[in-house]
Structure 1
Amino acid sequence: MNGKEPGAVFTDQAAAIAAGIRTALPHTYHGLCTFHITMNAKSNGLWWSPFLEELSFLMYDLETEDEFDYYWKKMLENCFNEEEEEGKKLTSKIEAWLQNLHKVRSKWSSAWLKDHFACGMRSSQLSESCNSHLRKYLQSKLTLWEFFIQFNNLLEAKRHKELRSDYEALNTIPYLVFTNSEVLQQFVTKYTQNIFGNMQDEYSKSIKYHIRPNNSKDIDGMFAYELHKLDQQRNPIDKRIVMVDFVERKLICSCKMFEKCGWLCRHVLRAIDHLGYGGHLEILNIHTRYILKRWTYDAKSGDFTLPAVQDTAERVYCSRVKQLTGSMNLLATRTCMDDDIYKMLEEEMQALKIRAESMMPAMKFGQPSTSTGMKHYL
């Protein structure tokens, strides 16, 4: 990863894994997989729906440590009491498991995740999904030759799925529910469908908030606004603060969703609507800093960083192949539906091929280049 550590890693709870991550990735946030926590809860006797709903709320919907402490106590009060039916009581086994879970709360509750960029991921399902795909194509009884054939089939299937997704993304526009929203109109043509869906979901929840100025919070020229849910205006735990710089069009929310996920939260969207339609029209024009390239249709375009000079010739070769292949695939996906553009590109590619081959020295298969040291395989 070019010397960079990931912002966050999610695994099942294991002392050996935790120790390894602390040693190898000292600056990476180590979180616990929420899927495994739920499965472990069920295996320890916590299988009933009310508890699982409370646990999910603690994992995903909290933004401050005070909120966690408050709702953890509420969860114990709501899910465990003497009047509960048999099988839903706080047994010694369940109590021990809950105490252990509470000790590592900073590894699984969203209240502690807001300072770490994790793209919205909270589980290790990505690796498990990959393992599931491998099991569909590979079997232990395969010969080495059959293994490589099946592995190649797997790669082809995944590439086809990715190309299909690219095509659909480039030729369809997400459905805009709130057609009058100037904010969402700026994102609908830029963000991919999944990410825009997240944004639209946040916007739908923003209308449930009441906003008012908080003059005691003005800091460094930024104006503070306090938000509460309409049905919880007297609950101090539910309060959110949005800081606004009208000159720089800077927006910072205390929930830090943008910092941890990469898209704007419901509180910022509510503040933008309130201020924009209240006379501050400049705030309706979203600054490009809040449109991350990784979530847009152009995520695959742009410059690719080649390996450092000390890298091997083979790695340089692979990096160049990856760069050119990605650019060519993206170009083909975008343009090949048009007959004229397709014919033009085909002619240009043939001319480019002839020109490139004329520049290549006469080398035998496997012979290294005198200029780069890389072997010739064409």
Structure 2
Amino acid sequence: MKTFTKRVVLGMMAATMLTPAVALADDFSLEGKTVTWIVGFKEGGGTDRLTRLLQSKLSEHLPGNPDVIVLNKPGGGSVTAANDFQANAPADGTTLIMASTSTFLPVLLGASVAKYDPNEWEAVAGFARGATMFGIADQIGAKGNGSDARTDYEGMEKASIRFGLETPISAEMLDLVAMNLLGIDARVIFGLSSKDAEAAFQRGEMNMNTDNTRSYLKDFGDDPKVVPVWTYGVIDESGKLLRDPDLPDVPTFPEFYEAAKGDAPSGLGYTLQQNLMNAKVMISKAVMLPKGTPDNVQQIYIDALKAVVADPAVAEKLPREIGSMPVNFGEATQRAIELGTAMDPAVRDWANEFLQANYDASLD
């Protein structure tokens, strides 16, 4: 009897302790307030366009229907805005940031300019954007035409591949690591922005290039001379890597590697490749709340963003920004951020040895 009574009392105490949190979830309202959504880039770019598309419907799905404004704070590839967000954003549900690969990559690579830790922020939603490696089929030896990875690889091993990018310490480090793991000896020309590299590819000065899947399909989807050889896929909410939904017939990098080498990729280099893949693909864009935001407020925003992306007015336009990639939310986004911003010391050592040996560069 005493044991039963004790359990009842403890149950009542637990219920009493939970009541304020439940009440807070029920009572939370942004009525009469303004929600500021920070974008670390100028108006008109991809991050800004996606934010404004979502902003158009966010107020309707937040309690109290607050005004939602976009505040552009360009500088340092979004690092300036992220530093300010970490230091000053109030954790009361009135401030968001739209982070991007260029927000997360400096943290992954250990850049001293990044005075913030996205793992301390509260994840709301992540917008993956597919990425693919492609080339001029006859010049890179891709006789499998993107559908026979083993044949493509055998040709690429012997081909004279030319690939342009700005710096080895960038999002395109993903592609350099991928080619290194495969043993593809590409001649890499540095100092080219993504636009310059694309122009050089179109002129035939480069015969291999990388881009987001949507841009690849727009620019080369109908060109019989250009073939995608692998994509970086997309990770579902269970953590499984799936094919890019916009290029479902093209193998993912691990599929291409296994067809080429006979075994699945593994080791420190592959771990680095996966870190970079999460930073570039899975969290191409991510909606985040500041450190310390209450769990119930985070959940309110997760539910609101789910409703926004399902709204017909948004759903119709969203593929123009992210293709057919699924949106991830909450824990799935947080997992991608952790993988895309944290590098094990042994992996970092491998990265430095790789960069020093091949490009006379270093993360340090």
TM-score when normalising by structure 2: 0.22
Work out which of the two has the higher radius of gyration on C-alpha atoms and give 1 or 2: 1
Task: Flag the structure with higher strand content.
Answer: 2
TM-score when normalising by structure 1: 0.21
